[in-house]
Amino acid sequence: MYRFPFTVDATDGDARATTLTLLKGEVTTPRYMPVGTQGAVRAVSPLHLETTGTDILLANTYHLSQRPGEDLVEKAGGLHKFMNVDKPILTDSGGFQVFSLEKTITEAGVTFQYEVDGKRTFLSPERSMEIQQQLGSDIAMVFDECLAFGVERRYAEASLERTHRWEQRCKDAHTREDQSLFGIVQGGFWPDLRKYSAETVAGIGFDGYAVGGLSVGEGHESMNMVLDATTPHMPHDRPRYLMGVGRPLDLVEAVARGIDMFDCVLQTRHARSGVHYTWKGRLRVTDRRYKRDFYPIDTKCTCYTCQNFSRAYLHHLFNVGEILGATLASIHNIAWFNQFMAEMRTSIIEGRFAAFRKMVHDTYPEGAPRSPEGKGKGKSIGGPGSGTHNKQNPRNR
């Protein structure tokens, strides 16, 4: 297994600034990864993705194995060439997407029906590794079972032991030396199970470690509780990745607990409804107050959208249902979150993370309205599923 270089560049409390060196380039953390589930970040071309400060992005094993199929991607020269993206790519194992479907779980793996056409599908640790190695991502994730919020402890215990066995099988089946393999810590919402899982998965030995089973509707405080019980028992000399989390408050609190990497669809999903993130809070550009507002979305933002277009223009695009609105909004949100994470990194290096953390709490407090800009609901651009955050399966696009 390829052990990529990883350094902890600075700490401020438990918050870390780190650097991962992958074959396709360096990844500095804290780092948010845009999600390109089906081999594309929705509404954003690779040309514009280059302008957003993105170091690494995510694609999904399950979806790509269904359409177009891993054999075709491999024949095209691998996922990087197929997508025309010359930067690191992490592939999810498919376990999170499967968890929300009707399924049959056995020791061998999971049988379910593909939600698009009803095709009977089987995923196992070995099958997930086979697909991800054919896709050729830089980082592959082990196949695990993601527990639903509120599951009984007895089931959680049995699931956790099975997941640990699956993770060992993933490691045994993974042979591609130029691809790193990350383990996943599970355990539901029981601190003792989280500690046990973190120690067990570390004992198996992986290139990095993820915290799974969050972003399933548990709420901010429960997320913090799980991280408090988990990260102290994860290896310090390896990257730590929190799966499926992306709100500013969640990001800063997870970094405060030692997490390095994140992915979420919230940034692009909200963009397609006209919701933009700024240093002063969320801005819904579809509100009528922006019809004659010629300021950029965020006067401090350096993205392509803010440097070239006004709130009035974006308001117009969403008002007429022009797809360019979704593209410009997505470019802004991705770039803004990368700037947000870069400023968080700088605050750690300079020893002022506490002040940055307070600023985020003041700007994006827990419990604030989901649409603080008020009345206008606006038009969603980008097709079905492009509206508000899906609590059941937030990492689907």
DSSP H helical ranges for the chain = 46-49, 61-66, 70-75, 79-83, 95-99, 125-135, 153-173, 191-204, 220-230, 248-256, 266-271, 304-308, 311-320, 324-349, 353-363
As a whole number of angstroms, the distance between CA 16 and CA 148 comes to 30
Three-state DSSP state, 18: strand
48 vs 237, 268, 274, CA distance in Å?
Answer: 34, 14, 18
| Residue 309 to residue 295: CA distance in whole angstroms | 8
**Closest Cα to residue 179, out of 263, 74, 267?**
74
Burial of 124-148, coded b for 16+ CB within 10 Å and e otherwise, reads bbbbbbbbbbbbbbbbbbbbbbbbe
Sheet holding 261-263, edge to edge: 31-33, 261-263, 240-242, 208-211, 180-185, 139-141, 89-92, 57-60
Terminal Cα distance for the chain, rounded? 31
16/245 Cα distance (integer angstroms): 17
The token pair that represents 253 in the structure block: 């609190």
Structure token pair of residue 320: 């007429």
CB atoms inside a 10 Å sphere around CB 245 = 24
DSSP state letters, 31-65:
EEE-B-TTSS-TT--HHHHGGGT---EEEEHHHHH
Asked if residue 83 lies in contact with residue 46, where contact means CB atoms within 8 angstroms, the answer is yes
362 belongs to the catalytic site:
no
CA 331 to chain centroid, in Å, comes to 16
Catalytic residue among 92, 260, 287, 298: 92
Active-site entry in 12, 138, 263, 298? 263
* 296 secondary structure, DSSP code: -
Tell me if residue 12 is catalytic. no
For residue 147, give both structure tokens. 């527990």
Q: What is the 3-state secondary structure (H, E, C) of 346-373?
A: HHHHCCCHHHHHHHHHHHCCCCCCCCCC
**Residues identified as active-site:** 92, 263
